[in-house]
Structure 1
């Protein structure tokens, strides 16, 4: 008998098991005496069926054989063929997600989770939950994904799927602006990883890198960089291609956000070279997008090379079912590359379409798109239009929390507002940039000395 069935036999409700054995016996048209045979007494079979006794593994196998059913069916309450059918459906759902159809994934998983047979299949139900969370994240429904992942984090055992689930939860918290929760979840996961000595596994390294990203967004760039360096060291030590690619990738993101694109570029190229040897098509596409963005941040920028990379990556992202944030990042970068190359109409069209798509779900990306539209308007001497676009960006950013990405965009927006003779708005944007990094005005820190009487 398989180990998981042995464990289930020890913990299953005796009354539930007894009822299943009785139902199978009646269905087979056998008496308790025929089931007992020479293995046990008729009275013992009767007590098993009434839930007063629990058979050991040997007797369980004998009973299942005489009833012409499997041990799986008696312990799980579901026939093996039905279990195989449900697992095949879940495989189909995962394939749909991997090929860019998260809505189809949600439809399939929804059918699986309401199937009465799944009620007794805890592992299958758990796996379906993780697939559902991934599909929800891919559609941009971060709040619903968080609810699913929070439940799974509490109910799941601390195994590799659980670690991946914590990584997804931390990432969803970060993308929704809940940076404190993103760090807290990662820290809890790290304690369990250390306890079970799983530090060198790809899953553990991915979690630490996700937490590093949250620290960076919170403004602690130095600590985030150290976490990434530790992840690189662990990945090199265990010679894991996936972990190395993720570590170099996250380090390059942090370097680029610190304004050091020239240092980030070789890290990204190294990560891409490593991950291209794998079959992780989605992350290959995401890395190509990141590399294209870095080429636009160089001094001087390399827009032609960037656009070629970005258009290639866009096709790959669409095929692999990337999330809306990845698609939006790519499209905004493409628009910026087209603007630098002189394709003003193409840049405006792509930035405008992206702003419309992500405005309600991803305000910081929409603000970035509106800021680019404002730059295009300035280029065309349409200053009123530019002011309108910049104000749209201001409104979107005003609803954001304090994080590094928001601070960077506020700072860039301040300079753009200055360029259209909006000094008051520019000053306010500079102040908001400072506030988003955690800085406070001197007056709020001023202390009143004690007076003597």
Structure 2
């Protein structure tokens, strides 16, 4: 018969945990600690319990009282709290501090360190009842994977988070990252599906008007825009902009201005997009999130290149600033590569062909990770070949870009690429090939190409 030993008084939280803990979980923890300590059941039982009783505890068939748990915990080099909750308060505080370090590393551009720290916390927190700690570690790990360019692995982790309770603080951040990762991977259908699914859950909870809710809507709009559904993207952004005005949040307003600038650019009104991007930049200067600021500087540089009167020198300055900020932020290698492509394009316009080509070659490996990035690289390679007078190579690169875009359903972008190719061929005097490219542009938009002469009368 065992005797009761241990403390005279026990924390009420632990007392409650001892009455409700899943006996199989408790048994597993005791058995795992005993095996790790190289201890037999007899040595663990001592004179306080029989070996058979310890065996039944480990099998999840007995609920020991707190006094016996205290004795067992002492022999195992643990605490009652660790047996019941899975981790002590002090250890939990240490792990939260480690996560703070991981988050800081990620925001500072050190994704490998962030990944390792978050993974260590996950290993240490395995089996604990602190779901918040685990979710936070999974989110940081997933964002680190995204930053490293491992989009598929990031998506798997983020899908698990998104399937959890949407009230959790990490949920909306995971939803935004998931939509973005699908978009960056070129899976535009899943990007829009995931974004719509998550935004609907936020609406059910009346959380779609928060900072994070507006950011999710804006990210979703970007995916629709890439897919070619510009009208729906604009509708989403208009609703988000209205909510941002009501919220009076600099971050939310910046997101609205940012996307308004992108859509102006997509409509061919780049000169109107530039001041909107600058307004967004002014709002984000006080935000403290280097990633948002860097992406906006990068976007502004791209607008300056696409303007009716391109300013490659100013664009280069903005893109170089973005490159530095991206290095010191949680930006992914893919985002950095997009900025490098734009920077190479500014060099090309400034006449630094060799520098442009060298920079493009330097990001070739990262281009294989994201179809939309690969398409942009192929386009730039075609532009470089055209400047060098290599028409066949230019045509081949343009066609590579078109095929990549068509394969991921980016029909609007593919149509634009056909137009660019047609313009290049027309400039080279290849009118038949140019007309063929223009017809392909029309086909990519989903319109039928009529054989009826323009102006003919219907009968």
Question: Shorter-chain TM-score category?
Answer: 0.7 to 0.9
- Determine the structure 2 residue equivalent to 1:410: 418
User: Are the counterparts in 2 of residues 15 and 52 from structure 1 also a CA contact under 8 Å?
Assistant: no
- Determine the structure 1 residue equivalent to 2:320: 311
Which structure has more relative contact order (CA 8 Å, sep 6+)? It is: 2
CA gap of 1:181–1:134, structure 2 versus 1, over 3 A, is: same
Give the Cα–Cα distance (whole angstroms) in 2 for the partners of residues 228 and 304 of structure 1. 31
- Determine the structure 1 residue equivalent to 2:379: 371
Give the Cα–Cα distance (whole angstroms) in 1 for the partners of residues 281 and 132 of structure 2. 35
- Determine the structure 2 residue equivalent to 1:217: 226
CA gap of 1:377–1:84, structure 2 versus 1, over 3 A, is: same
Give how far 1:182 is off.
2.1
User: Are the counterparts in 2 of residues 368 and 409 from structure 1 also a CA contact under 8 Å?
Assistant: no
Deviations 1:58-115, CA, capped at 9 Å, x for gaps:
xx89x98xx9997753531222232233323322322222222223333333333334
Give the Cα–Cα distance (whole angstroms) in 2 for the partners of residues 249 and 9 of structure 1. 53
**4+ aligned runs moved over 6 Å, structure 1:** 1-10, 18-24, 26-32, 50-55, 67-71
Give the Cα–Cα distance (whole angstroms) in 1 for the partners of residues 416 and 208 of structure 2. 33
Q: Which aligned pairs between 1:222-233 and structure 2 lie closer than 5 A?
A: 222-233=231-242
Give how far 1:8 is off.
6.7
Deviations 1:324-368, CA, capped at 9 Å, x for gaps:
2321221122222222222232223223333x2333222332332
CA gap of 1:227–1:3, structure 2 versus 1, over 3 A, is: farther
- Determine the structure 1 residue equivalent to 2:40: none
Give the Cα–Cα distance (whole angstroms) in 1 for the partners of residues 194 and 388 of structure 2. 47
- Determine the structure 1 residue equivalent to 2:87: 78
Give how far 1:286 is off.
0.9
- Determine the structure 1 residue equivalent to 2:212: 203
Query: What are structure 2's unaligned runs of at least 5 residues?
Result: 1-9, 35-42, 50-56, 452-459
- Determine the structure 1 residue equivalent to 2:244: 235
TM-score by length of 1: 0.79
SS of the residue aligned with 1:114? helix
User: Are the counterparts in 1 of residues 244 and 256 from structure 2 also a CA contact under 8 Å?
Assistant: yes
RMSD: 3.8
- Determine the structure 2 residue equivalent to 1:111: 120
| Counterpart among 284, 288, 292 of residue 283 in structure 1 | 292
Matched, 1:135 2:132: no
- Determine the structure 2 residue equivalent to 1:337: 346
- Determine the structure 2 residue equivalent to 1:302: 311
Give the Cα–Cα distance (whole angstroms) in 2 for the partners of residues 4 and 312 of structure 1. 52
Give how far 1:30 is off.
11
Matched, 1:273 2:296: no
User: Are the counterparts in 1 of residues 334 and 367 from structure 2 also a CA contact under 8 Å?
Assistant: no
Give how far 1:240 is off.
0.9
Give the Cα–Cα distance (whole angstroms) in 2 for the partners of residues 143 and 245 of structure 1. 29
| Counterpart among 111, 117, 133 of residue 102 in structure 1 | 111
Q: How many residues align?
A: 422
TM-score by length of 2: 0.78
Give the Cα–Cα distance (whole angstroms) in 2 for the partners of residues 76 and 435 of structure 1. 61
User: Are the counterparts in 2 of residues 112 and 128 from structure 1 also a CA contact under 8 Å?
Assistant: yes
